[in-house]
Structure 1
Amino acid sequence: MGFKTPDMPPGDPAEFESTPVMDRLRMLATHWTEYGFGGPKQMHALYIVKTVLFVLGGWLIVGVTTPGIGLTDLSAWWGELIVYEKLMVWTVLWEITGHAASWGPLAFKFGPMIGGWRYWTKPGTLRLPPYPGRVPGTAGDARSLFDVGLYLVLVANLLFLLVTPGVQNAAAYSEAGLLPGWALISYVALLLVMGFRDKVVFLASRPEQYAVCLLAFGVLASHVDMVLIAKIAMVTIWLGAGVSKFGHHFSLVVQAMMSNTPWLTSKRFKRSLYRDPPNDLRPSRTALGWAHVGGTVVELTLPLVLLFSTNPTLTWLAIAGMVLFHVFIYSTYPLAVPLEWNVLFVFVTPFLFGGFFAGDGYGVTDFSSGWILAAALVLLLTGPILGNLKPEWVSFLISMRQYAGNWASGTMAFRMNGAEDKLDTGLTKTLRTQRQQLTDLYGSDVAEIFLQKCVAFRSMHSHGRAHLSLLQRHLDQLENYRLREGEVVCTVLVGWQFGDGHLFDERTIAAVQRRCHFEPGEFVLAWTESQPIHTTRVRYKVVDAALGVVELGDYDVRDAVAEQPWIPNGPIPHRVTWRMPGYEPAGDFVHPEPIPEGAGTGPKNRPDDPGSGSRAEGSGPEGRPDGMVTG
């Protein structure tokens, strides 16, 4: 890999699409094990420059706009809660404008490198209301002048918070003061209104990271309570992420992430993450160790030490451990690149847990009222608990499942008759499809290799293998289609994406269809929900853009994890719980019969909740339920 040139898999790019699809995916997945995505290293250098600008900007904002805190006297920042407030607002501003997560080439934005504000200030772009039929005033899927105005007011509110000096309110405890509570409350209120109008902007603000803290800083009358809420919020984030790593997904995530780390150049080490590359790409014990000792154990133990320890040495050791943890995550350049969040946590961890040490009156027993603690726990824990039990109701971000590999996702298939180009001609947007963006940089053949490498990346995770299994059944022939990673396409559709498949489910596809008018079979999506914490069964949908949802079902995640990325044994076993009357899958593989009407849940002709309990498991092979396709 050069600084300006990508690292390419073997073979002639011009011959790439003449190779059978599954052979391509095997080659690309194998190439990923040693080279990751393979982009030129100037991509990574670009993010370093952006991080430097983010840090310098935060330093200048705090130092110039906050009387009582010197620009160059950084020691005066220690113990001043307004520093944390302003840096948090600064980070939220980067997020909600699209300059933080889901920015640039590692989020598949090549020209321009930002969606974000360019979409959210452009009337006519797609808007995704979460409850359009239930919340008055939120129907429709086109961005209006009202939505643009609401977004601009949100941004203006954040800018005001950044430049305003601290005030001496009831919670102020020093000359620097604290941010005015009314402005913090107004931001949260505006964000909630925006959330009902467009969940994309709401999630892009990263409310699971910041909203509760900003609200608490706006309403509480004690800075001790503010600090404790901030501590509990951070610990909740860490513990939620740690709990989400239990299960079958996370080792697969660590393999792909570490293989893509730009400074990790040892091919020997990268191969050690897999059982027997290139023949067996399932996780090795090395990958398991990195995942659950270096990841899960750290996130479940050190945060509890930080929250409860009154021993300075132990606390600072835990602080050092969490700082190194976030530095490491930053250094891997994870796709969607949530770098600013990690940079903020590198600063905030010692600032909060060291600067407001539990032994000095900032421990969890020092709340002024137990009701404040109870309210904080309700606000912080409802999303993660509900999201892990009913993931179809809650974004994986709100569920605190960062990096866990367990999120709603999808793989799209566009017939090779120019169907993908309809996205460019039919939609109001500011980004062209990635095929067009990459073609401008590298030519069409290389563009196709990198786009399908994203599909191979998805197949290195459990849900990607389910997607390929479903597409083999529902497409007449894979070679007649171009496969696309759903997250990659979604960032073109709505301007932002951070791994949440709920942003490109059947409702989004229906909005696209109203504008692009695909014919049946031109655009097919295989989509999977997150795995609930209490079952190994995962739900899926198959969506034909012209027809809507054509099939629902579920599968056992253990079957997906046990396979190779290119599913050499054919589609993984899965169970159909509903199929559109009159619809028949076009593929050549065995088609399981749907569960009989009345055996599932929901309406007669389409179950809303095709869960694993919708049919009693019978006497299929090896104890599997009847009606499963085995390929």
Structure 2
Amino acid sequence: MGFTQPDFPPVDPDTFLDRPFLDRLRVLGAHWAEYGFGTPKMVHMIYLMKVAILYVVAGLCIATFTSGYNVLDVGAWWDQLIVYQKIVLWTVLIETLGLGGSWGPLAGHFKPMTGGFLFWLRPQTIRLPPWPGKVPFTRGDERTVVDVAIYAVILINLVVALVFPGISSASLDALVADNHGLVNPAVLYPLIALFVVIGLRDKVIFIAARSEQYLPAIVFFAALPYLDMILALKLLIVTVWVGAGISKLGHHFSMVIPPMISNTPWLPSKAIKRAHYRDFPHDMRPSRLAGGIGHVLGTIVEVVTPLVLLFSTNKWLTLAAVVLMVCFHLFIFSTFPLAVPLEWNILFAYAAIFLFWGHPAWDGYALTDTTMPWVLVAVAAALCFFPVLGNLRPDLVSFLPSMRQYAGNWASATWAFAPGAEEKLDQYVVRSSKNTRTQLLASYPPEVADVVMHQMMAWRSMHSQGRALYSLMLRHLGSDIDTYTLREAEFSCNSLVAFNFGDGHLHDEKMIAALQRRCDFAPGEFTVAWIESQPIHRGTQRYKVIDAALGVIETGTYRVADAVAEQPWLPNGPIDMQVDWTLDVDARRALTDPDIVAEPKMRSGSPAGPAPDVPAGQVQQ
């Protein structure tokens, strides 16, 4: 891999699209196993400079100087709560601007590299309210001047909270004699309210700000006295860690490890990368090595070590656990995972040091030292609510509030466009960037851009969802799959709403309906295979097939074990699907031809009606 040149797959771009679709996946999957995305190292340097200069240096200077500390006097400020508060607020500002996770080429943002504020300060872009039919004043999918104003005020509020000096706190003074106060709660109350309002208006911004983790922290900053604030912050980070660790139990996480290791820029050894697959390139399922790394260095570390940190009163055991969690996050950082949550990993590494070494249990910061036991119990219960609900009912909760980051168990989708249909997105959707392929055309010939777009789908094929998504496409497109334009939905969604962090809930049938209202696709022009995350207590995943013009046209389930057992390029054909409901041919004709009068009915002979769990009227769009 060169500094400025990518490691391009061993294919002829001029004839690449002449190959069968599954053969394209096979070739690019093998290339990914050895080179990952093949990204030039210059791109990784851009990310490192962004984190080092914009996030770390600028963030520390702001957090310390505005709090009355010298940034160079690390010993004076590293364990001071006001500095930690401002580093958290700085992280929230970076994420809310779109300069943190899901930024740059590794997230599908090529030109421009930033989504975020370029979209969210622009009226008429797409917004996605979570409950438009239930929460008043949230209907519609177009960003208004009011939405832009709310977002702008959030940014201003964050800046104000960062630059204002601390105010004295009696609870802090009682425990820390020499301190510089805390962030004024008066500037945090409106920020909390504004995030709730923007979250009800547009779930994209709410999730992009990583509100599931940072908003509770801001609430603790505003509402709790010093000691209990520290204890609540400990519970928060332990909930994130343990929740993520528990979510890795199952088939999915082992499949995350090989493509992640393959994409690690500092690891040049092809032998090590190949060792994470059972028999490269013939059997591309994860090897025992990959499973061991995933569940020993991942699952066990992420569950056991945080509990040690929370309850240990032994100085050296705590120090070892802190070091382990710092190394854990620095390792994830070093792999440059797609969606690139680099700032998040740096913050959590620092949080491990600040919370558990700077405020250890043996020094008066154990859970039993709380002055508000019932409040702390309520905090623990509240923090566990969404992870528990999200793992039992993933259809109700995004995988991020469910604390399933990196677990490999995500709602996902693949988009398929009839020839030329994808161009409608560039023509009719108001946004601050074009389709991902269009962005690539600024630097590469069309044939090369097509190969790069397929690399993203090859990456998806190496995860369990990819086998299911491409099986659904084979079932519904048949031999046309070789002529349709298939796209990885996560990257396409990024180009349309500025952000995606692997969350299929941001491009479900509501998002497709928003695109349909703008682009008016004909039946068959835009087909979506969409799957929900696996509930923790079931061995199946639910799927939907969506036609942009018709709505949901099929629902069903498949066995996760079947997807895991198959190869990325489906040499044995599509995996088995258990169809629950499908819109039959006559019903589809009735929905598209005004001269035909026909009652939609189910192939099983059951009474007509919309698909289960589909909002009334969705199928009739």
Q: TM-score range by the shorter chain?
A: over 0.9
Q: 1:607 aligns with which of 605, 612, 621?
A: 612
Q: How does 1:49-68 map to 2 (within 5 A)?
A: 49-53=49-53, 54-67=55-68
Q: Deviations over 1:535-588 (max 9, x none)?
A: 0110000011111111000000000000000111111011111112436999xx
Indicate the residue corresponding to 2:71 in structure 1: 71
Indicate the residue corresponding to 2:312 in structure 1: 309
2:274 aligned with 1:271? yes
What one-letter code is carried by the residue in structure 2 that aligns with 1:414? F
CA shift at 1:357, angstroms? Answer: 0.7
Indicate the residue corresponding to 1:487 in structure 2: 490
What one-letter code is carried by the residue in structure 1 that aligns with 2:103? W
Q: How does 1:54-453 map to 2 (within 5 A)?
A: 54-67=55-68, 69-173=69-173, 174-220=178-224, 222-416=225-419, 418-453=420-455
In 2, Cα distance between equivalents of 1:448 and 1:489: 14
Rate the CA distance shift 1:585–1:532 in 2: closer, same or farther, 3 A: farther
Aligned length: 597
Rate the CA distance shift 1:347–1:185 in 2: closer, same or farther, 3 A: same
Indicate the residue corresponding to 1:614 in structure 2: none
**Runs of 5+ in structure 2 lacking a partner?**
590-601, 616-621
CA shift at 1:270, angstroms? Answer: 0.7
What one-letter code is carried by the residue in structure 2 that aligns with 1:462? S
Contact 2:413/2:529, CA 8 A, preserved across alignment: yes
In 2, Cα distance between equivalents of 1:284 and 1:583: 47
CA shift at 1:59, angstroms? Answer: 1.4
Greater shift in the superposed pair: 335-344 or 55-64? 55-64
CA shift at 1:508, angstroms? Answer: 0.3
CA shift at 1:596, angstroms? Answer: 5.5
CA shift at 1:606, angstroms? Answer: 2.2
CA shift at 1:171, angstroms? Answer: 3.3
In 2, Cα distance between equivalents of 1:387 and 1:22: 33
In 1, Cα distance between equivalents of 2:242 and 2:159: 31
Query: Following superposition, which runs of at least 4 residues in structure 1 exceed 4 angstroms of deviation?
Result: 583-586, 593-596
Percentage of pairs with the same residue:
52
Contact 1:475/1:521, CA 8 A, preserved across alignment: no
What one-letter code is carried by the residue in structure 2 that aligns with 1:8? F
Q: Deviations over 1:507-534 (max 9, x none)?
A: 0000001001111111111000000000
What one-letter code is carried by the residue in structure 2 that aligns with 1:20? P
Contact 1:171/1:178, CA 8 A, preserved across alignment: no
In 2, Cα distance between equivalents of 1:594 and 1:563: 29
Contact 1:3/1:41, CA 8 A, preserved across alignment: yes
In 2, Cα distance between equivalents of 1:388 and 1:545: 29
What one-letter code is carried by the residue in structure 1 that aligns with 2:187? A
In 1, Cα distance between equivalents of 2:588 and 2:42: 44
What one-letter code is carried by the residue in structure 1 that aligns with 2:554? E
SS of aligned partner of 1:441: coil
2:559 aligned with 1:559? no
SS of aligned partner of 1:211: helix
Contact 2:550/2:588, CA 8 A, preserved across alignment: no
What one-letter code is carried by the residue in structure 1 that aligns with 2:59? G
CA shift at 1:373, angstroms? Answer: 1.1
CA shift at 1:595, angstroms? Answer: 5.4
What one-letter code is carried by the residue in structure 2 that aligns with 1:455? M
Rate the CA distance shift 1:297–1:594 in 2: closer, same or farther, 3 A: farther
Indicate the residue corresponding to 1:620 in structure 2: none
Contact 1:412/1:485, CA 8 A, preserved across alignment: yes
In 1, Cα distance between equivalents of 2:151 and 2:606: 46
In 2, Cα distance between equivalents of 1:41 and 1:518: 40
What one-letter code is carried by the residue in structure 2 that aligns with 1:510? A
In 2, Cα distance between equivalents of 1:43 and 1:584: 50
**Runs of 5+ in structure 1 lacking a partner?**
587-592, 611-631
Contact 1:26/1:456, CA 8 A, preserved across alignment: yes
SS of aligned partner of 1:330: helix
Q: Deviations over 1:247-289 (max 9, x none)?
A: 0000100111001101111111111101111110011100011
